[in-house]
Every structure is written in structure tokens, then in C-alpha cells.
Chains A and B, each alone.
Chain A
Amino acid sequence: NAGVTQTPKFRVLKTGQSMTLLCAQDMNHEYMYWYRQDPGMGLRLIHYSVGEGTTAKGEVPDGYNVSRLKKQNFLLGLESAAPSQTSVYFCASSLLRKSNQPQHFGDGTRLSIL
């Protein structure tokens, strides 16, 4: 079982460039999430989605956009990358109305903005 797959695993960008991180899950989960992890900060929620075609802002949404055109995919976009967006990005998914079930995480994407 693949679970949650993130691509790419590593990327280096220059300030001002744009890119899209892809998250794919094969567990038929309704909920999907994007987090960023910074040293000493734990994981913080950027955006989330409660189903196909719906997205919502999390704690730190500025500078990011997301789309959920298909249930199994959740895309995170950076329109104009900034050094402050250097981080490790995690995608996660979970079942609807099963809040005692854990979120399943991808392996993360390390993104560096120069």
C-alpha cells in the first residue's frame, strides 16, 4: 500500500519562482492537510480540505494556495517563493467522521528557497 505519497522529495528554488507540491493518497480519505515543519516550531497547518472541490485556510496560509480537484490529490502551490518558505512540508490524510483515527502522513518535501 502506498498510503500518502508526496512529490518531489527535495527541491531548491530561487526567490520569486513558483512551484507546486503534489500529494496523492490511495486510502479514499475525505480529509487532506498540508503542514509545514520548522525547527523548534512543530508542525503547523497551512491549508486543509474536507472533500473534493473544497479547501480552507489553516494557521499559516499566507503565500500558499491549494487545490483539490480530485479526491485523491491535494496540491500546494507557491506562486512567488520567499526564503521564509524554506521548510519541510508534510501532507496528511484522514477519514471523515473518524476523528479518533490518526492522520496518515507522507514522507515530506524539503524545500529550500535561495
Chain B
Amino acid sequence: AQTVTQSQPEMSVQEAETVTLSCTYDTSESDYYLFWYKQPPSRQMILVIRQEAYKQQNATENRFSVNFQKAAKSFSLKISDSQLGDAAMYFCAYRSASSRGGSNYKLTFGKGTLLTVNP
């Protein structure tokens, strides 16, 4: 079974600075997808960024980028120019790309990292 580990329960960053959230995962598969979700106090689960394992290029979405190291099974999220609205719980998630069975479409989540942004 796949597991996702977020080793930082809490992180803080000054407004306008850069912060990196860590995520590692364990899998025996070669084809999969990785996601970062943001959960603000409103409780919504908002997709921040996704990465396909077969792509070597790191995904970017505006101020958000990832450092995907497939051999190391690492998938960190970098937030540049942090804003107060970035304060939230961030979840890393894994999804198999296998077409065998519906369970391979489920997401496996890490336990989350609570990000605080200081003005």
C-alpha cells in the first residue's frame, strides 16, 4: 500500500518570503500522480498543483511550484512571495495511474502541514 508522509506538522513564514513544505511517499509503482491540496479555515479542499510522475519537468502554478524527485520519492511544495491568504493546512496526496480496479483512483493523503503566514 502507498503511504504519504508530511514530516512538518507546522510551518511559518513571513509575508513576501518563500517557504517549502516537504512530502515523501512510498510506492512500488512507476506511474502515478501527486497533488497538493490547500484547506483554509473555511474547510474547503482546494487543488493547488498536480504532477504526473512520467513528467520530468516540475509543475508550476503562479507562485506555487514543486520539486519532484522521483528516485527519492519526494514531492515538496514551494510557495514564493507568501501572502496572508496562503495560511492554511496543506495536504500532499498520491494517486495511482493504474487502471486495475476502482480503488486505484483513490487519493492517499499525508497528515498535513499547517502553514502560518506572519505579517
Contact = CB atoms under 8 A, between A and B. Distances in A.
Contacts of A43: 45, 91, 107, 109
A56 B103 contact: yes
A49 B103 CA distance: 9
Interface in B74-119: 91, 95-97, 99, 102-107, 109-112
A42 B2 CA distance: 14
Interface in B18-46: 33, 35, 42-45
A94 B96 CA distance: 14
B38 to A, nearest CB: 11
A100 B109 contact: no
Nearest to A4: B45
B47 interface: yes
A34 B96 CA distance: 18
Contacts of A97: 99
A100 B106 contact: no
Contacts, number: 59
A102 B44 CA distance: 14
Contacts of A58: 103, 106
A42 B110 contact: yes
Contacts of A42: 4, 91, 109-112
A33 B47 CA distance: 16
Contacts of B112: 42
B107 A88 contact: no
Contacts of A99: 33, 95-97, 104-105
B106 A45 contact: yes
Contacts of B109: 42-44
B47 A102 contact: yes
Given A42-B111, A99-B96, A94 B50 contact: no
Nearest to A50: B102
Interface of A: 31, 33, 40-45, 48-50, 54, 56, 58, 88, 90, 92, 94, 97, 99-100, 102-103, 105, 107-108
